[in-house]
Structure 1
Amino acid sequence: MSGADQAGPIRSILVATDGSAAADEALERALGLAEQTGASVHVLAVVDTTMNPMHFGVDDVDELQRTKKRLVDDLVATVGDRNVEIHGAIRRGRPANAILAYADENAIDTLVVGRTGRSRVADMLLGSTTDRLLREASIPVVVVPAGDTDDGDESLER
C-alpha cells in the first residue's frame, strides 16, 4: 500500500472520522502521538456512496458531503491551538476502500481509528470498517476504544 518505511519513524497519521465519540477519541490519540513524534495528522471523512440508491438521491449525497465537510473543517479548526500540522479531506465511496486509498495516495504510515461498542455479532452481520482496515491495511493500525484516552494499554496495534 504505502511506500512509507514501516519500521521507520511516524511522519504522517491518518484519522478516519464519522463524527462519533469513538472517532473523537481516535483523533485525540492521534494528536497526542503527533505531538510526541512531530508527525502530521490527516483527518478524513468518507461519504458512503455504496448505500442503496433507492434510499438516497443525488441531493441527499450532496448534503451528506456538505455535512462531512463541515465536520472535518470543525475538527481541523479545533486543533488550531496544538502544535501539529493538520490536513482535512473528504472522499466518497466504500469507507474502508476510501480510507486505504487515501492512505496510499498520501504516503500515510500510521492509521488511527475509533472502535464503537457494537457487539461482535453486529460486526459479523453488518460488516465493520475497522475490521476491514485491520485485515487489509499494509500499515500499522491503532484502534482506540471509545472512552479510552489513558495510557493506551487497551489499544490494538497491528
Structure 2
Amino acid sequence: MAGANHIDDPIRSILVATDGSDSAKDALERGLQLAEATGANVHILSVVDTTSNPMRFGVADVAELHETRERVVDEIVAAIDNRDIEVHGSIRRGHPASTILTYADENAIDLLVIGRTGRGRVAEALLGSTADRLVRQASIPVIVVPADEDRDEDGRQNDSSH
C-alpha cells in the first residue's frame, strides 16, 4: 500500500467496491476515469455480506448471493474490456467494510472509490454505513461518489440529502 502521506504517491491501483447499485455504477465510472487519467489498474470487488444477519440466510441463499455478485462483477469486467485499463474482478464473503479494507491491503491498493446511497444523516448515524466505515478506517485515500439522486442537474450536491 502507498505511504502514509499519500499526497505525492502515484496512483497505480484503484479499488472500486460494488454492490451493483446505481451509486456503485457511478463510483465505477469515476474509478475508470481516474484509471484512464493515471494509468492505474482497477480492481472491482463485490462483497457478499454474510455477517449482518447470519440467521437470515441459509447456505443455498449465500451461494445464490455469491453467484449473483459474481455475475455483476463479470459483466462489469466484460464491459470495461473495450477500454485500455487492466482490470481484476473479485468476490469475497464477510463484513463489507473490513473485507474491502483487507482486500485493499492484500493487493497494495492506492485509492478506494465507493458509491454512497442517498440515505440521510439520521439513518447513517443509527445504522452506520459501509462508506462511513471505510472513510474512517482506511489507511489510503477514499473517494465517495454520491448517488445521482444526491446531485442536481448540474452535478452539484443536493442539500436535501443532508
TM-score, normalising length from structure 1?
A: 0.90
Partner of 1:101: 102
- Paired with 2:9 and 2:82, the residues of 1 have a C-alpha distance of 28
Matched to 1:30, the amino acid is G
- Paired with 1:43 and 1:53, the residues of 2 have a C-alpha distance of 25
SS in 2 for 1:138: coil
| Residue 77 (1) aligns with residue 78 (2) | yes
1:77-156 pair list within 5 angstroms: 77-147=78-148
CA deviation after TM superposition for structure 1 residue 54, in Å: 2.1
Deviation string 1:38-95 (CA, Å, 9 cap, x unpaired) is 0000000000010322211011001111111001000110111111111100011000
Aligned length: 151
| 1:151–1:90 CA distance, 2 compared to 1 (3 A) | farther
- Paired with 1:53 and 1:8, the residues of 2 have a C-alpha distance of 40
TM-score, normalising length from structure 2?
A: 0.88
| 1:152–1:96 CA distance, 2 compared to 1 (3 A) | farther
Unpaired stretches in structure 2, ≥5 consecutive residues? 158-162
| Residue 60 (1) aligns with residue 61 (2) | yes
- Paired with 2:109 and 2:80, the residues of 1 have a C-alpha distance of 19
> What percentage of residue pairs aligned between the two structures are identical?
66
SS in 2 for 1:108: coil
- Paired with 2:154 and 2:47, the residues of 1 have a C-alpha distance of 29
Unpaired stretches in structure 1, ≥5 consecutive residues? none
CA deviation after TM superposition for structure 1 residue 151, in Å: 10
Matched to 1:81, the amino acid is N
Matched to 2:89, the amino acid is G
